[in-house]
Amino acid sequence: MPTDDDSADGFMRLFDDIDRAFRLDAIHGRPGMDPRRRALLTLAMVAAKCQAEAVPEHVRLCVRAGLGKTEIGEVLLQVYCYAGVYASLSGFTAARRALERMEAAGELPPPLGQVGNRPAPARTVAERMAAGLRMRRQLFGDADVDRGLAQADPFTDLFWETTLDFCFGNIWSRPAFDRQLRSELCLAIASATGQVGAVDRHVRSALRGGVSRGRIAEIFLLAYVYGGVYNSLESFRAASSVFSEMAAGGAGPPSQGPCAS
């Protein structure tokens, strides 16, 4: 006669069987992305959605892929910019606890336990804003930025100035990750959290920075798992619209403000 424990095990097996077949085998098993990249992107997705209980699993995936505290911390700083302070803070808190447990168990090799905190080189607000404007032009092009500058107004200037300082002059300018990886992290966060307008913008900057359409599709497949079917679908649709527009020779709508992210 089955016990309550047997019933509970059978109930959870419904999830475990599907999760193993879909997430782990079908999606994580795809050859289109190396495990290091996938580990960083999926960590960004679950942290951005404030799923702190899932962060330890993805921290372990990062460590198993040869990534350590430096890379994990940099991902969570990117989350601060694109999903907010509390998503980042809860991610840092959960990650720290997971890393401490791994260190205590001897599962974190000493080199991966070191924190290489390499901040952006600019120190003052003026320096960061100047660096941020240069980064913004690299990501989106002079024409896009110049259109935004022409539309600037006193009310929204505070937002755009803060974005130049913090988002581009600080986070994007940190040397630990290259531009391509940061673009991919932005796409992962935007797709998993349903920020369709941000998906549109970051598809454009990602393509400009050398991210392939195939890689973009792989990111949106990860969002299918970690953000849900509709966020993934809307991301595919937004990217397809950008591809069609670019194929037709369109420059696309101008950014709002001087440095839209």
Q: In whole angstroms, give the CA distance from residue 14 to residue 148.
A: 51
Q: What is the mean pLDDT of residues 196-204?
A: 95
Evaluate whether 69 touches 112 at the Cβ level (below 8 Å). Answer: yes
Mean pLDDT of 96-117: 96
Q: pTM for the complete prediction?
A: 0.91
- The confidence score (pLDDT) of residue 5 equals 61
> Taking residues 28-32, what's their average pLDDT?
93
- Which residues lie closer than 8 Å to 259 by C-beta, 6 or more apart? 132, 133, 136, 145, 148, 160, 163, 164, 167, 168
| pLDDT value at residue 259 | 36
Phi, psi of 68 (to 5 degrees): -125, -160
pLDDT at 1 over 60: no
Note the pLDDT of residue 4: 58
pLDDT score at 251: 52
Are 52 and 94 in contact by the 8 Å Cβ rule? The answer is: yes
- 40 burial (CB, 10 Å; 0-12 / 13-18 / 19+) is buried
Phi, psi (deg, nearest 5) at residue 37: -65, -45
Q: What is the DSSP letter of 124?
A: S
Digit-coded pLDDT (tens) for 217-232: 999 999 999 999 999 9
State the pLDDT at residue 165: 96
Mean of the per-residue pLDDT values of the chain: 92
pLDDT of 261 higher than 80: no
Q: How confident is the model over 140-151, as pLDDT tens digits?
A: 999 888 888 888
Q: Which residue has the higher pLDDT, 32 or 71?
A: 71
Q: Residue 104: which pLDDT band, with cuts at 50, 70 and 90?
A: very high
Q: How confident is the model at residue 253 (pLDDT cuts 50, 70, 90)?
A: very low
Write 54-58 long-range contacts (CB < 8 A, 24+). 55/90, 55/91, 55/94, 55/95, 55/98, 56/94, 56/95, 56/97, 56/98, 56/101
- Residue 113, judged by CB atoms within 10 A of its CB (0-12, 13-18, 19+), counts as middle
